[in-house]
Amino acid sequence: MTVARRCEKITPFIVMDILEKIHKMESRGIEVVHMEIGEPDFNVPACVSQVSREAFSRNETCYTHSLGDIRLRDAISKYHKDTYNTVVDPGQILVTSGTSPAMLLLFSALVDPGDEIIISDPHYACYANFIKYVQGVPVPVPVFEDEGFVYTPEAIEAKITPRTKAIFINSPSNPTGNVIPKTRMEEIVEMARAHGLYIISDEIYHGLVYEGQEHSILEFTDKAFVLNGFSKLFAMTGLRLGYLIAPPLFIRVLQVLQQNFFICANSVAQMAGVAALTDAKKETDHMRQVYNTRRKYVIGRLKAMGFEIPVEPTGAFYVFVNARHISNDSYFLAFDILEKAHIGVTPGIDFGVNGEGYLRFSYANSMENLIIGMDRMETYLKEYFS
C-alpha cells in the first residue's frame, strides 16, 4: 500500500511548521513574538458577532443553495459595484468555506493534466501545490524587489507556451505586501487577451491598502476569476468564508463540484458575511489605520537594522526583506531567530526559489508586541552578525 502519487508532490507549508514549533516553546513557558503568521489580531466586527448569534437563534443552520445564500451573493455583488464600479451577476458567484476551497474548485474546473498556470516567484506558498494537485504545471516567473516584486510583461511573455491556461496575480501580495499598479494590470490584461488566456486574481487582501489604490481585475476584463474572502479585511479567519467570481461558462461545473465536495458553505458564517459587507466599514477603517501605523514602524525599524527595502510595501500586513547579507539559507535563519531571539518569522524559501534569502515579517500583532519583536531582532543581529 502506498500514498497517492499526487500527494507526494505537495510540499510542506513551512510557516505552519514554525507555528507548531512556537506552540511547543510556548507550552514550556517561552514567550514568542508572533511575526510569522498572517492572521489579524483583531476581534471580528461587532455586527458579525451579533448577526451570528441571531442566525443561531432563528435556527438558520440548514443547507443553503450550493452557490451560496442569495442574500450573501447579492451583498457581494453590491459590494463590488460600490467598491470597483463593476457589475457582477450574483449567479456568477460561488460562496465557499474559505478561499482555499474556492481555489481547489477553480483549478479543478479550469486545469487539465499538463496545463500551465503562470505564477510569480515569490508567491503564496499554497498556489503551486493546488495547481500540482490537479496535475497542472505551475510556471514561476521571478519578480524582484527593485521592481516592487511586480511582474513585467516581458517576463510573462517569455513563459507563455501552447499549454498556458492562465496568468495568476495577487495584489496586494502575500508575501511581499506590494500592490500591482493599474497600468501594469492593464498591460497584463492585454497580454492575456492577445494569447487567449484567463487571469486569476487573488484579491483576499483588498481593503488593506495604505497608499494608492488597489484594483479588481474585473475593472479591466471579464475573462477572469476573482478569489476573495472574509479572513483578512474582516478578521474572520476561523469562520472560514470565501468566494469565487467566475465567467458564466464555468459556473455550472463549479456548482456541481461544490455539491459533491462541500455541499455548501456554513450557513451562519454566510449571514455573518452579509453583516461584514454592509455594516463593518467603521471597524475595518479603524483596523486599516492601526495596520498602517504598525507598517510604518516595522519598516523603519528594519531599515535601521540594515535591511534594504527598495520599494516599501503598501498593502496586506507583511514586509518581505532581503536577508542575504546575513544568510542565504532562509530556512536555517528563520529557525535560528526563533531559537535565539524568540521571534517567529517566515523563511522566504516557503514562497518559492526566488524567495530564498528573504524573510517575511507580519505586523498583524499589537504594537506592544511588535516593539518587543523589533528590539529582540536588533539584539539578535548585534550578538550574532555584528
C-beta separation of 93 from 244 below 8 A: yes
3-state secondary structure at position 100: helix
Residue 147, CA distances (Å) to 6, 44, 119, 243, 308 in order: 35, 35, 16, 30, 13
Residue 136 grid coordinates: 497542472
Q: Which residues contact 239 (CB under 8 A, 6 or more apart)?
A: 44, 48, 230, 231, 266, 269, 272
Cα–Cα distance, 270 to 51 (Å, whole number): 10
Per-residue pLDDT of the chain (386 residues; tens, 9 = 90+): 788 888 888 888 899 999 999 999 999 999 999 999 999 999 999 999 999 999 999 999 999 999 999 999 999 999 999 999 999 999 999 999 999 999 999 999 999 999 999 999 999 999 999 999 999 999 999 999 999 999 999 999 999 999 999 999 999 999 999 999 999 999 999 999 999 999 999 999 999 999 999 999 999 999 999 999 999 999 999 999 999 999 999 999 999 999 999 999 999 999 999 999 999 999 999 999 999 999 999 999 999 999 999 999 999 999 999 999 999 999 999 999 999 999 999 999 999 999 999 999 999 999 999 999 999 999 999 999 87
**Contacting residues for 21 by C-beta, under 8 A, at least 6 apart:** 335, 338
Q: What's this model's pTM, rounded to 2 decimal places?
A: 0.95
CA distances from 49 to 64, 68, 97, 233, 268 (A): 20, 20, 18, 15, 10
Angle between helix axes 14-27 and 330-341 (nearest 10 degrees) is 20
Domains (range + CATH), the chain: 5-43+282-385 (3.90.1150.10), 46-280 (3.40.640.10)
Q: Which three cell numbers stand for residue 74?
A: 447579492
Tell me what pLDDT residue 53 has: 96
The C-alpha atoms of residue 379 and residue 341 are separated, in whole angstroms, by 8
Residue 196: other Cβ atoms inside 10 A: 9
Pick from 107, 130, 72: nearest CA to 265: 72
Q: How far is CA 24 from CA 86, 102, 136, in A?
A: 47, 32, 36
